[in-house]
Structure 1
Amino acid sequence: MKFFNSRYIIRLYNRTLWPIKSVQSTLSSHKFLVCRSYSSLTTVDNGISTELLGNSGVRSYLNKLISEDYSENMSKPNVSALISAIRLLKVDLQSLNEFDIEKEKDKEFGEQLQKEIKSHKEQLTKLELELLNSLVPNEEFDCEDIMLEITAGVGGQEAMIFTQELFEMYNSFAHYKGWKSEVADYCHTEMGGIRHACLMLSGSDCYSLLQHEGGVHRVQRVPKTEKSGRIHTSTVTVAILPQPTELDVVINDRDLIIETKRASGAGGQHVNKTDSAIRMHHKPTGVVVECQTDRSQIKNRKIALQKLRAIIYKKQLEQQQSLTRSARKQQVGSSARSEKIRTYNFNQDRITDHRLSKNFHNLVGFLEGREYLDKVVIELRERANKILFNEFIESISEKK
């Protein structure tokens, strides 16, 4: 699996193209990786160790990358445009920095100058992150169709109420992003809230934006039914499953045990009167799924098969990752599903994302599932891309 488009690195090694210091230091400590095989494009630093550059493993690996992807990737207009824009901004910023703001007599001019410098730095950071996104390719399992499952955890009725709030947040976010959204499962309770729900989402960047939402979401607040005013802590588990095609996961009918039963719970006249609910057991993997969302048995069978295929696909991907990544890298990619990833504290109007080690406010706005959530998921994606960047560098270092 390729984690990084290394054929660009030599064009970007010039430190002026990287405003973020963490990327500068990473590139600086691995010069030999970004110069070999590009001597026709740029001058190789004299400080590069000839022993490292002469390493047959490194040379073979980089030559392979060039032959596979160089022509295709260097012709991408978005990358060329980003590089040009970054260079122009750096030149402009250098010119602005030549002014001595503290000695500037014209206060109005000095204030405007500060605003311009700040604006240029913000644009540089934004463009640098866009460039990083272009250089880090989608992983093999990146897709536009996903299954988002939400399940109430610890906390009883309060957990179920918050499960419904998160369900509505993600459904609203799908509409905000212009994605297609379909409710595949919705198990609500008579007292309010839902035990479990499943959304089928489809759209551009759907998986890349939401994959980091998988994990344990913790809520801290005083329930409406709490008379003493004590703060309760409840949890909700979110799972993000890439939705494969029939070609990705082949399921034979002979490997399935399908049972029909009458739907249970609140839901209308058809509940407990027709055998519309489906229970599907995949014998080779032991995976069992159920669906009673629709009053049509055929529709429930289709949804159950989609859920089954998604779960099996996810298991296959996790097995593949465990074979191709080190234990540390694997934890970065999947252990968040079993960890507390975010806390919603209503009393303090605070959302804490534990991966980013950041606090955000306006909890009501966040749960609306619009720009506030969008900002956080984008930041999580940038964090993941930087991790992939470092993993790539480290993996090549091990080859030397």
Structure 2
Amino acid sequence: MRKLTGSNLFCALKKLQSISAISHPQNLSQRSSIQSAIATASLSIFRSYSTEMQPQLSTDLIKIMEQRILAIEHRSACLANLVNQPEASPSEYSRANKELRKLRGLMELINELRTKQKEIDGLKSLMAECPEDKDMLDLANDELGQSIDEEKRLQSLLLKSLLPKDDADERGCILEVRAGSGGEEASLFAIDIFKMYERYSQTKGWKFEVVDVTESDLKGYKEASAAISGTGVYGKLKFESGIHRVQRVPVTEKSGRIHTSAVSVAILPQADEVDVQLRNEDLRIDTYRSGGSGGQHANTTNSAVRVIHIPTGMTVSIQDERSQHMNKAKALKVLCAKLYEIERSRIQMTRSKLRSEQIGSGDRSERIRTYNFPQGRVTDHRVGITHHAIDDMMQGENLDIFIDALLLQQEMDAIASFSSTH
């Protein structure tokens, strides 16, 4: 398969966008074929990019990266020298050894790159020394081509390792879904979106734990939250935050008119105990009898828990479990995630690289995706991609089409930022 360079990656993305924008053919089998081709092409482009295909790096970017590599090599040598000094204090040894461990993965890539570059230089010298030996030249030329391809692959991997990372990407997350404009129809779509993420989590092998649900009169969800645990959960789902718009005929609509409703989704990284210090004096914890639509959660004990964080005024109420202890644990988990996100946002706002470097603003008032049921399509407005298998999407399938595109766009933006700031 032909490798994608930085420029034709964008061409491939644009081509996919143009294919997905084709109006539906009248022939049902033809429509199905096009939909299948779109899904296959998109998955191929984005998944292949993340594994085998690497963008072609510009000469300027390679020069910038080489400066960073030289600095890392120098730092690694200094640290290695320090840990081998008998006079180094235990604290100095510990700090140096810890930093060396962090650099180990980078240094392995760098050493592999240096070995490949020496191999390239050797092949070039061999070709210069034997200009008349055609068989030797052909053999060396073939090996040189393979070595240059490997050098480019290693440079791309190194660049990805040098790009700024979000420390929260490897964490689990708290998912919050709220019905917006559209009344009961919005609450019914909220349950569809909530279940979509639950099914998607199952396909990834993640743990999906319902934290709290507030039902509407028609058994939809006014609000619902869940804790999703696993490796890299937040890094995968972080761009799902925003307004999800739905266009369909509600079950309450008798004249068959299409209504537009909205649901807000928030994705918060889960916080560890070391991230957020909750002091007892900063918390007010109230207990009360839980209840719910239809009385299915009602009981005669004060099992529901309301936790108020006094310094911020933030309130979290949980009544999903029948145990007061379990409800309190869930409430504190959600509160920690909210406080952690506030602190993360504060830190990010103080840095020169603001959220504008990410795809969209991440603002929950921003419409990010439209689910049009009459036309059977889902469109992500940030990357301009439309997928024509809405039923599969709501089953948690093919969501990676959008997620991979957003992660690819983020990576390209990070590369541009890397180049402009160095």
RMSD: 3.5
Among residues 277, 301, 312, which one is paired with 2:328 in the alignment? 301
Deviation at 1:329, TM superposition (A): 2.8
Secondary structure of 1:228's counterpart equals coil
Task: Compute the displacement of 1:249 (Å).
Answer: 0.5
In 1, are the aligned partners of 2:285 and 2:307 still within 8 Å (CA)? yes
Residue correspondence of structure 1 range 330-369 to structure 2 within 5 A: 332=359, 334-369=361-396
Alpha-carbon distance in 1 for matches of 2:260, 2:68: 56
1:204-283 matches, cutoff 5 A: 204-266=231-293, 268=295, 271=298, 273-283=300-310
Q: Counterpart of 1:20 in structure 2: which amino acid?
A: G
Letter in 2 for 1:223: P
1:277-329 Cα distance to aligned partner (Å, 9 max, x none): 11111112221111111111111111000010000000000011111134563
Query: Are the aligned partners of 2:65 and 2:159 in contact in 1 as well (CA < 8 Å)?
Result: no
Residue 393 of structure 1 deviates from its aligned partner by 2.1
Q: Give the superposition deviation at 1:20.
A: 2.2
Aligned length: 319
After TM superposition, give the deviation of residue 232 of structure 1 in Å: 0.6
- Which stretches in structure 2 are left out of the alignment for 5+ residues? 11-53, 79-98, 117-152
Amino acid across the alignment from 1:181: F
Where does residue 97 of structure 1 map in the other structure? none
Letter in 1 for 2:233: C
TM-score of the aligned structures, taking structure 1 as reference length? 0.70
| Contact 1:141 1:317 survives alignment (8 Å) | no
Alignment of 1:121-136 (within 5 A): 136=163
| 1:27 to 2:58 alignment | yes
Decide whether the 8 Å contact of 1:179 with 1:202 is kept in 2: yes
Tell me, what secondary structure is at the counterpart of 2:281? helix
Shift of 1:135: 5.3
Q: For 2:293, what is the secondary structure of its paired residue? A: coil
Change (3 A) 1:162 1:33: same
Return the match for 2:351 from 317, 324, 347. Answer: 324
The alignment partner of 2:316 has SS state of strand
Partner of 1:95: none
TM-score by length of 2: 0.67
2: CA distance, partners of 1:132 / 1:344: 36
**Letter of the structure 1 residue corresponding to residue 6 of structure 2:** I
SS class of match (2:287)? strand
CA distance in 1, matches of 2:68, 2:277: 42
> Structure 1's 325 and 17: CA in aligned 2 closer, same or farther, altered over 3 A?
farther
* Residue 375 (structure 1) shift: 2.5
1:1-400 paired onto structure 2 within 5 Å: 19-21=5-7, 27-30=58-61, 32-36=63-67, 71-75=104-108, 136=163, 138-266=165-293, 268=295, 271=298, 273-327=300-354, 329=356, 332=359, 334-370=361-397, 372-396=398-422
Query: Is the CA contact 2:178–2:263 (under 8 Å) kept in the aligned structure 1?
Result: yes
- Flag the 1:362–1:73 CA change in 2: closer, same or farther, 3 A: same
Deviations 1:93-146 (A, max 9, x none): xxxxxxxxxxxxxxxxxxxxxxxxxxxxxxxxx999988755546412223321
Instruction: Tell me if structure 2 keeps the 8 A contact 1:152–1:237.
Output: yes
Code of the aligned partner of 1:73: L
Structure 1: runs of 5 or more not aligned: 1-15, 40-59, 85-125
- Identical-pair percentage: 38
Q: Is the 8 A contact 2:357 2:413 kept in 1?
A: no
1:21-73 alpha-carbon deviations (Å, 9 max, x no partner)? 2697873455642343768xxxxxxxxxxxxxxxxxxxx79966997776531
